[in-house]
Amino acid sequence: MSMLKIAKLFTAIFGAAVVATGAASAAAAAPAKPGIVLVHGGFVDGSGWEGVYKILSKDGYDVTIVQNPTISLADDVAVTKRAIAAQKKPVVLVGHSYGGVVVTEAGNDDKVAGLVYIAAFAPDKGESVDSLIKNPPPGAPVPPILPPQDGFLMLDKTKFAASFAADVKPETAAFMANSQVPWGVAALGGAVSEPAWKSKPSWYLVATDDKMIPPPAQRNMSKRAGAVVTETPGSHAVYVSNTKAVAALIKKAAEKVAVAAQ
């Protein structure tokens, strides 16, 4: 073998080794992605998170979707904590609507590294959905909640789309209206013992066209929590209609949490 061929062989071997070593070092330097737990709100179930789940999963996140019974806050917190425990990494806990109350309480779990609120309630100590909606500001939209039946609430199906999912495809909004999960009156009265946002970093997405939780109320709660706020046009079902914006905020939170953990 000529000296020229030997030189080329050594270059190929050692060059490849250097590239491989560099790639391994870069992988080692990249912060580990946290797990993500998604919590739904009242009147709906976890299936609404499908679009967000697909985006996050494609980007390499381990995502768990909680299926809360929404009968009582204590039960929903217990179910959510089981989902957190099943994750093998620190968790970014995400709540929509009433799910914000659940994550505010469940987020005190040591495994939770950050909270994300999507058009959600972010109560303080001793607050509940009942107390937060008790005195709506003048002119605020009134959700079409029907009188309780056997201790559960439902939205008027004929008004569901306009109030909850105005920017969702009509066929999807109709399905959501007809597949409502009865929301326990007891869950609305469940008060937070200690808000996790006081000790954990938080992010908040304000849906500016929301007819269920008025945007000014969302802004007030997010400011009080010291959350990093993003605003985007969207109905209360923004997690269904604008999955990219919702997933982008969750990823932003996850990236910050991962860097902080290094």
Q: 34: which residues sit within 8 A by CB, 6+ positions away?
A: 61, 89, 90, 91, 92, 113, 114, 254, 257, 258, 261
Q: What is the pTM of this model?
A: 0.89
- pLDDT by residue for the chain (262 residues), tens only, comes to 554 554 454 444 445 444 444 444 444 456 889 999 999 999 999 999 999 999 999 999 999 999 999 999 999 999 999 999 999 999 999 999 999 999 999 999 999 999 999 999 999 999 999 999 998 878 888 999 999 999 999 999 999 999 999 999 999 999 999 999 999 999 999 999 999 999 999 999 999 999 999 999 999 999 999 999 999 999 999 999 999 999 999 999 999 999 887 7
Look up the domain containing 124 and give its range. 31-129+141-261
20 lies in some domain: no
44 lies in some domain: yes
147 lies in some domain: yes
13 lies in some domain: no
The burial of 80, by beta-carbon neighbours within 10 Å (0-12 exposed, 13-18 middle, 19 or more buried), is given as buried
14 lies in some domain: no
73 lies in some domain: yes
Provide the CATH number for the domain around residue 97. 3.40.50.1820
22 lies in some domain: no
161 lies in some domain: yes
Give the chain's domain count.
1
Task: Report how far residue 23's alpha carbon sits from residue 27's, in angstroms, rounded to the nearest whole number.
Answer: 6
Q: How far is CA 62 from CA 67, 92, 203, 226, 247, in A?
A: 16, 11, 19, 27, 13
* Angle subtended at Cα 80 by Cα 78 and Cα 83, rounded to the nearest 5 degrees: 115
Q: How far is CA 156 from CA 119, 121, 143, 185, in A?
A: 21, 21, 9, 16
